[in-house]
Structure 1
Amino acid sequence: MVEPTSPRLLFVGGAGDAALAVDVVRTALGQARKRGLQVHLTNQEATLAATPAITALADAASAVDFEIPGASADWARGRAAAGERFDIVFGVREMAQEAVAEAADALGLPGNPPQAVHRVRTKDEARAALAAAGFRQPRFRVCADEAEVRDFLARTTGPWVVKPRDAMGSEGVTRIDGPQELAAALEFLPERTAFIVEEFVTGPEYSAEGVFLGGAPHVLAVTSKELLPPPNFFEIEYVIPAIVPEETRAEIERQVVAALGVLGLRYGQFHVELWWTERGVVLGEVHVRNAGGWIHRMLAHVIPGLEWFGLVFDDVLGNPVDTAALQPVRGAAIRFLTPPPGRLVAVEGWEEVAAHPAVIHCELAVRPGDVIEPHRSVENRVALIAVGADTPEEARRLARKLEESVRFVTEAAPH
């Protein structure tokens, strides 16, 4: 009797070289191994070299640049023609999602339509599609220069947000209250080729984390967010599940599920950002990947036994999934610490925080002598504390208490 060969996973985009990115991929590959998957991982050549621990977890690794349109699909076709079989195509990096979709399409495997992924990754196209389907959206305009922005400002009511068409982690995003603040906002953009200006949405921010099962979206939990005051959008707290009335949670889930259907998405994980306003849900950015900010670890505490990445593999492999068990029963919270800018002299109380038994993950990315920059995007995160508890209220209280017990001593940095 011939033994069946193991199912094979093409993992497009590998991991970035940041600690969070490596942890996400290590977790995903661990859940793939539990299901007997053989893994062929692709990534850009330099990043493959920078993440040897991840490469070592795969059965094979190849240098393929996921940022070159069509390159991953062409590579996958070539491997298939040479006799290599793949059963699943998956990836976790934001910038690799179009390559994931193109490779799956090229191999005739489950995946999102490439045009649908391109739409949600191009923020103005996603906004237009949602608005056309009747979802609440802020008015926006794609601009090429300052004159076009000023024209939009003159025709709409502020405040406004200036941001890139295609970026992540609040990179280059600024709120402005008038034309006098425009120059600084444009300077903060990573690129000036084309960008978006849109009306600022007033209301608390949330996100919905989930997975597609049988092509249908299943919301695992709603996450609440706290941000530093404008002009930037630095997130300093997540709480899962969000502490909101049941009817609010249900309406958020209803809107998210409907929007994902309208956008033509059907595969993998999702992370959908939104606001709760006086008019109800206003949808923000849609991502066909897991959430960042260590939410993958927080969800695993909130839903005991959850394997978020493993659910994607189970869905393709036809393994049974008990959706009734995919409900939050505990709470988790994370605080991103924001010490005053300047040269760091000392950090007090960190060892005690790191030793606390409720800590899911903590990270201190600075040491005495480093210069702490103003907190403007996720790239400026210098420390974080994630905790788990029996309820989200308890988790939030504990995370804030632990944050208060850490003291950063800084001095003015030389110019």
Structure 2
Amino acid sequence: MSGPLVVLGASGDVAAAAATLPVQVVHVRLPGAPRPVDATAVVYDVDYQHPPAFLPFVDEVLAPLAPTAVVSLTELGLEPASAAAERLGVTGVPLQAVRDTRDKLRMRRLLDRAAPHLNPPYAPGDAPPDVVGALFTGNAAVVAKPVAGTGSLAVSLLRRPEDLPDSRRNPGTMLERYVPGREFSVESLSGGGRHRMLGIAEKRTSPDGFVELAHLMPPPGLTEADGRRVERAVAGLLDAVGLVDGPSHTEVKLGEDGRVTVIETHNRPGGDGIADLVRLTTGIDWRRAALGWAVGERLPAVVKQPDVPEAGTATGPAAAAGPREAAGPPRDGAAAARGVRRAAAAAPVEGAPPVAAAATVFLTAPPGRVTAVSPPPGLSGSARVVTWEVQVEPGDPVQPLRSSADRLGMALIAAPGGPDACAAAVADLLARPAVTTCPDDAPPDPSRP
């Protein structure tokens, strides 16, 4: 009998997926984190982000269990899981590959050697002034972001070299020339160096271009040729960083000239409900597959999507039926601590056939104080709201939209009518004020109790 699967930092959805695997599961969670619902799972509380506490735990507690693999699907658990797997000599993602994906500067340098055409011009934040200045050539804008950041936190757009504050002129800052074009994310599962693409999603972002407001799978209007370009770029990136086994979530830009530029990658499924988009459009439980590879589970075949009787709908890898091989989380904070209010407007059915398109849409509002929260709306055509999660209630403060953590909730949409119908539903929902606010200094509305 094989040993257990050790999972670090599982969310409720990931723990539920792990419970469906035909192996014993051992959860390692941070102290105070919610306990997994699976009553059969073994649970340990330890600060896996603190090596002096975690490594003795690996030696004294995990080693005697003789686990088959150690994995994580949460950003801050990726390196500890790989370090534990390497220490125990069991299946896991190579630690060097994890570090090379989490460190954006290291990833760029690897691409320089293996696939330089996938990089934009870039420099570390402490580069000499002439190097930094060259990034702005031709009035180009430059993106400044943390070398190891996530969630659009501390990402800013610079128009001139002097816009870079002294506090960010350090090796912890990454500077990249801004790349115009459509932005996509790609979900992939690798095995033995072969990369199987499960889905491509297109982003809708905030006016500054950095906070994600929606993900649409498959992207409307993505051609077969462009989809192939995106897939080849992702495969080239994964080869460059040595990610030969396990899940990945890669973000790229596609220019009008057909050039694909890598933005970043992670050895985990995408957040923001993207795993649900894969499930809705392919029938594959992406969370389960992202865990199951480590214990020998094979990725299931996709159920063919229905044909979409819409004129002008693209037929590319993103719109085609199923994953193929390429050649070559809920918000933290006070509102979440109270519990997310979740409404199922059209509850998903396990084993249901895939829909032609799906999307996640994020709820936002102007800064101030919440005065009202809307119920799930009806959508035009055949599109429907599958789940509706709101993380605020009347009286809560709303901060300016600076990162993903400032979003107020999420809707999951299914669109049997196809990518164009899905895009229309997303635009409709983004235009609706699901959460209403008033400025903190506004007088109270006498019509409200």
Q: Aligned pairs, how many? A: 385
> SS at 2:164's partner residue?
helix
Asked if 1:400 corresponds to 2:423, the answer is no
The aligned runs of 1:10-25 (5 Å cut-off) are: 10-12=6-8, 14-15=9-10, 25=11
The match for 2:310 is none
Q: What does residue 265 of structure 2 align with?
A: 286
Cα deviation 1:362-405 (Å, max 9, x = unaligned): 22222222232221110110132220122222222223324444
- The answer to whether the 8 A contact 1:345-1:411 is kept is yes
Structure with the larger helix share: 1
Q: CA contact under 8 A between 1:111 and 1:266: conserved in structure 2? A: no
- Residue in 1 that maps onto 2:399: 373
Q: Identify the residue that residue 440 of structure 2 maps to in structure 1.
A: 413
- Residues 241-250 or 104-113, more deviating: 104-113
Partner residue of 1:295 out of 260, 269, 274: 274
Say if 1:169 and 1:377, in contact at 8 Å, map to a contact too.
Answer: yes
The residue type paired with residue 290 of structure 1 is P
Of 6, 28, 36, the match for 1:42: 28
1:155 partner amino acid: A
- Distance verdict in 2 for CA 1:113–1:97, change over 3 Å: same
Instruction: Identify the match of residue 124 of structure 2 among 114, 122, 142.
Output: 142
- Amino acid aligned to 2:438: E
Contact kept, 8 Å, 1:212 with 1:268, in 2: the verdict is yes
1:92 paired with 2:73, answer: yes
2:333 aligned partner:
none
Which residue of 257, 262, 271 corresponds with 2:235?
257
TM-score of the pair, normalised by structure 2 = 0.78
Deviation, 1:226, is 1.4
CA distance in 2 between counterparts of 1:212 and 1:71 reads: 31
Closer, same or farther: CA 57–171 of 1 in aligned 2, 3 Å:
farther
Q: Which residue of 2 aligns with 1:155?
A: 134
CA 1:197–1:28 in 2, change beyond 3 Å: closer, same or farther?
same
Contact 1:159 1:176 in 2 (8 A): yes
1:245 aligns with 2:227: no
Task: Give the whole-Å Cα distance in 1 for the aligned partners of 2:105 and 2:58.
Answer: 30
SS at match of 1:124: helix
Equivalent in the alignment of 1:201: 179
In structure 2, relative to structure 1, the CA distance for the partners of 1:35 and 1:192 (3 Å cut) is same
TM-score by length of 1: 0.84
Instruction: For residue 298 of structure 1, report the CA deviation from its aligned partner.
Output: 1.7
Alignment root-mean-square deviation, CA? 2.8
Q: Select the residue among 203, 213, 219 that pairs with 1:236.
A: 213
Note the alpha carbon deviations across 1:161-187, whole angstroms, 9 max, x for none: 11111111111100111245334xx77
In 1, distance between residues paired with 2:96 and 2:397? 43
Work out the CA distance in 1 between the residues paired with 2:170 and 2:134: 22
How far is 1:50 from its partner? 3.4
Matched residue, 1:51: 34
The residue number in structure 2 matching 1:126 is 107
Change (3 A) 1:279 1:61: same
Query: Cα distance, 1:266 vs. partner?
Result: 2.0
